[in-house]
Amino acid sequence: MAQAPITQNPDIRFLGKQLGDVIRAYGGEALFRRIEYIRSTSVDRHRGIVEADAIDAGLEALTLDDTLAFVRGFMLFSMLANLAEDRQGVATEPGADLASAVERLGKEGVDREAIMVLLDQALVVPVLTAHPTEVRRKSMIDHRNHIAALLQLRDRGREETDDGEMIDDSIRRQIALLWQTRPLRRERLYVQDEIDTVLAYMRDIFLPVIPALHARWKRTLGERAPSFLRLGNWIGGDRDGNPNVNADTLRYALRRQSEVLIGHYLELIHALGAELSISTELAEVTPEVEALADRSHDQSPARRDEPYRRALSGIYARLAGTYQALTGNGPPRPGTVAADPYENPEALREDLVEIGHAVKKGGGGTLANGGAIGRLIRAVDTFGFHLATLDLRQNADVHERVVAELLKVAGVEADYLALDEAARVALLRDELAGGRLLWIAYADYSDETRSEIAIVQAAAEAHRRYGPQSITTYNISKAESVSDLLEVHVLLKEAGLFRPGTGETPPSAAIMVVPLFETIGDLENAPKVMADWFALPEAAAITAARGHQEVMVGYSDSNKDGGYLTSVWSLHQASRALAPVFEQAGAAMQLFHGRGGAVGRGGGSSFAAIRAQPPGTVKGRIRITEQGEVIAAKYGTRESAAANLEAMASATLLASLEKPSLPQKDFERYSAAMDTISSAAFTAYRELVYGTDDFRTFFRQFTPIAEIATLKIGSRPASRTKSDRIEDLRAIPWVFSWAQARVMLPGWYGVGHALKGFKDQALLREMLDAWPFLQATLANLEMVLAKSDMVIASHYLPLVEDQAMAQATFGSIRDGWQVTHDCLLSITRQTRLLEKSPALDHSIRLRLPYIEPLNHLQIELLKRHRAGEDDPRIREGIQLSINAIATALRNSG
C-alpha cells in the first residue's frame, strides 16, 4: 500500500532551511549541492520515485572530507528535527497531566480526599544515571537549547531578542555554531565530568521546574500536597563495574550538589529581599517576623522600617554560613552580617514559613497565593540541603568477597565463601546481632575491601553533613539471596549506618538495602527471596520502622538473558507476585524500574509503562532510572521536563487509584496465554543468541560494537570483565550495536515465533483490546520494527569473515523479523506498521531518508578501517556516523 507523502512541520522546514544556508556559507556551494543531492534522492527513494543506486552514486562521489561534513550535516538535521518535534509534543501522550488524571478518577468515583490520602505517602522519583548512551557533547546540547529558547520567543510573535538581535539571525547563528562545534569528545570522560554534566540539568531544569509543578498541582487539587515528586541520582555512587567510582567521587558529587543548591537558595533569598519591601509604616508585621528581624543584627538605617528585609538578611547570613560549612567555600555573594549556619533544612524552613505566614495575613489574603516565598519553601521541602538523593550501587560478588575478607582477618570465619546459604545467613545474623565491628584499621586488606569500607564511611559522613536524605538507598546488582542483603547490612554496620537492637530497642538501618533482580531466573526467584527476607525478625523490624521496602527490577539484563517479550512479562509477573509477599509482611512495596532509552532496555513511554503496571503494585510510590540520551530528550528544556515529570506523576496517580481494567477471570486467561507465548519467545531467542554456533563472532563482526567502544561517552568499561561472552557484555553496547546496524534485535526477536505458534489468534486480539500491559508491549515492539530495516542491515554482512555462517545467521534474523512484522499487523488489524499512530509514523518516516545514507557510509568506513587503513579521518567518520545514527533513531541505547 502506498504511504502518504511526508510533510514536515513548519519548525522542521524552517530549521532545515537555516541549516542548508549554514552549510552553503561555511562548506561552500559544491558541498551543499552534494549533500542536497543525496538528501533529496534518499527522500525520493523512500517515496518510491528512484532506485537505491541513485543514492549510492551520490555517496561514492564524496571525498573523505566531504563524508565527514555530510555526516555532520545529517546529524544536525536529526538533532534539529528532534527539537522541533519535542516542541510539538510528539513525545508526550494526550491526557498525561495531573488535571486530566484527577478528572478521570473523579468519573470513576475517586474523590479528592482519596487522592490526597495517596499523595500524603506518595513518592515519584526520576533517578539520573551516567549510563553511557548520550553520544553528543554537552556543548552541542547547549546550542540546541539556545535554539529552543529562541523558537519560543518566535512563537510569541517576537522578532527581536532582549539584546536587540533579530531572532531568525540568532537561530542561524546558533546553527552556525553547531556546524563549527566538534561533535565528538577527544578525551575520555571521568566521573567528575559526568557529575558536572548532570549538575547542569539539576541547576537549570529540575531546581526551577519541580517547585513550579507542585505549585500548579496545588491549584489543581485545591490544597497543598506533600513534596512527593523528588529527584534521585546515581552518578558518583554507582560502582557496579566502574572502578572509577569511589569514596572521593561520592564526596565530590554530594559537595557539588549542595554547592549548586544552596547557591540557588541564596539567589532566591536575595531576590526575595528585593521583593518584600513591606514597611511597618504601611502594614502590620507579626511578632515572629519582628523577632527574626531583631535576631538578624541588620542595623542598616535604610531597612529600619522593613522587618522582612532585615529578617531575610539574617536568613541569608545563616544560609551563607551553611554554604561555607557544607562546601568549604565562601558563598558567591557574602552576606551583610555574620551568623551561625543552619543545623538542618528544617530550621531554614521554619524561618521561611514564618515569613510566608506573615505575608499572607495582610490585605485580605492578596499576597496569600505562595509567590516566590511559596516556591522557596517548596524547594527546601523537596531538595533539603542535598538536592538529589544519591544512591549507592555495587555488585553482590564484590560484597561477598569483602565480607569474606573482613571475617577472615577478624578471625571469625576462615572461608566464608565455602559456606552454603543457610550457614552464611546464620553467621551474618550473628554479626548483626552484636555490637562488635570487624574492620581493623591497621590490618592488611585488599584494595577492594579498603575501597568498599571507605564508601560506607563516606556515606555516614554524608548523613552527618547533609542529612539522612542525601543517601537513602543501597542497590545490590545480581542480588540472588538473603545473604546478599545481609552482607550489605554488615558493611553498613561498620560505619554506624546499621545498629543492632538492644533490649526493647529494635535494630535500625539508616540506609535501605535494595535488591536488584535482573536475569529471568532472578525475577522468578524474587518473591521467595523477599519472603525469606521479611521472615527474619531483624528485617521485619527494620521494614516496619521505615514503613516500606524497595525492590529494583532490571530491564536490561533480563532482556539480554531472555529476549524482549520474556523480559517484560517476567518483570510484570515478578511485580505482581511480590505484591502479596509485601502485603503479608505489612510493608508498602516501592518498585524501582531500571529502564534505559531503547525498548530492549525498558524504553518507550513512561506514562504508558507506569499505567500498565499490575494492579496493586504502584500505590503512589515508584522510582525510574533516566539515563544517557533520555535525559537530554526528556529534560533538555524546562517545558519538556515539566511535561515528562507531570506524565510520571499523573501515571502514578492513575496506576494507584484507577479501577483495574481487567476482571480477575480475564487476567487469569490472559496470563496463561502470556506464559505460553513468553515461553516460546524465550526458546526462540535463546536458540539464536546462545544456541547458534559462532553467534558471538557474528555479532562482533556484523555490528560496530568494537568501534562503539572507542567513543568517549562514559567513564565505565563496556564489559564487567575482560570476557567477550555475551553474558558478560553490558546491556548498553549490546542494544546500541544492534541499533546501529538497523537490526534492533533485542527489541523484537522471538516475538514473531511465539505469536505465530499461538493457536488462538482471536484471543490475542481480545487481549490487545482489553489489556494495557499488552498494548504498551506491542506499541513499543511496533516502534522498534518501524525503525529497523533488514535491507539496510543486509549490507553489513560483508563485514563478517565467514560468509556461510553470516548468511545462515542473518537468514534466521531476517525470517524472524518478517514473521514478527506479519503477526503484529495481523493482531493489530493494520495494513502497515504505525498505521494507527500517525504522529509517531510521521516522526520515524521523516528520519529514515536521513539514516539510510549514514548506514551506507558507516559500512564503507568500517570496511576500510577493518582492512587496516589508518587515515584518522576514517576513524572519525565511523564515530561521527555512530553519533548521527543514534541521534536520528533517538532511543537507540
Which residues are catalytically annotated?
Answer: 131, 560
- CB half-sphere exposure, 362, CA atoms < 13 A: 13
CA 326/CA 809 separation, integer angstroms: 58
Report the run of H or E that residue 586 belongs to, with start and end: none
Q: Is 512 helix (H, G, I), strand (E, B) or coil?
A: strand
The strand pair at 392-395 and 512-517 is best described as unpaired
Q: Is 33 helix (H, G, I), strand (E, B) or coil?
A: helix
Question: Using the 8-state DSSP alphabet, how is residue 238 labeled?
Answer: B
**Cell triple for 588:** 508498602
Q: Following DSSP, what letter does each residue of 462-482 receive, concatenated?
A: HHHHH-GGG--EEEEET--SH
Q: Where are the beta strands (DSSP E) in 196-334?
A: 232-233
Of 674, 650, 666, the C-alpha closest to 770 is 666
Beta bridge partners of 508: 499
CA 494, 495, 501, 504 torsion-angle sign: positive
Report the run of H or E that residue 498 belongs to, with start and end: strand 498-499
What burial letters (b/e) apply to 871-886, b meaning 16+ CB within 10 Å?
A: eeebbbbbbbbbbbbb
Which residues have C-beta within 8 Å of that of residue 214, sequence separation ≥ 6?
225, 227, 229, 378, 382
Residue 340, phi-psi category: left (phi > 0), alpha (psi -120 to 50), beta (remainder): beta
Contact between 823 and 756 under an 8 Å Cβ cutoff? The reply is yes
What is the phi/psi pair of residue 163, to 5°? -85, 0
CA 388/CA 383 separation, integer angstroms: 6
Beta bridge partners of 549: 589
CA 686/CA 684 separation, integer angstroms: 6
CA 644/CA 124 separation, integer angstroms: 12
The length of the chain is 893
Contact between 840 and 787 under an 8 Å Cβ cutoff? The reply is no
**Cell triple for 400:** 561477598
- With 0-12 / 13-18 / 19 or more C-beta atoms within 10 angstroms meaning exposed / middle / buried, residue 4 is exposed
CA 645/CA 648 separation, integer angstroms: 5
- CB atoms near residue 545 (< 10 Å): 11
At position 49, the amino acid (one-letter code) is: I
At position 426, the amino acid (one-letter code) is: A
CA 482/CA 487 separation, integer angstroms: 9
CA 489/CA 115 separation, integer angstroms: 36
Q: For the range 688-691, what are the long-range contacts, defined as Cβ-Cβ under 8 Å and sequence gap of 24 or more?
A: 688/749, 688/750, 688/809, 688/812, 688/813, 688/816, 689/563, 689/726, 689/749, 690/726
Q: Is 96 helix (H, G, I), strand (E, B) or coil?
A: coil
- With 0-12 / 13-18 / 19 or more C-beta atoms within 10 angstroms meaning exposed / middle / buried, residue 758 is middle
Of 488, 503, 513, 271, the C-alpha closest to 379 is 271
Q: Where are the beta strands (DSSP E) in 37-129?
A: 123-129
**Cell triple for 176:** 552556525
Of 610, 655, 770, 667, the C-alpha closest to 105 is 655
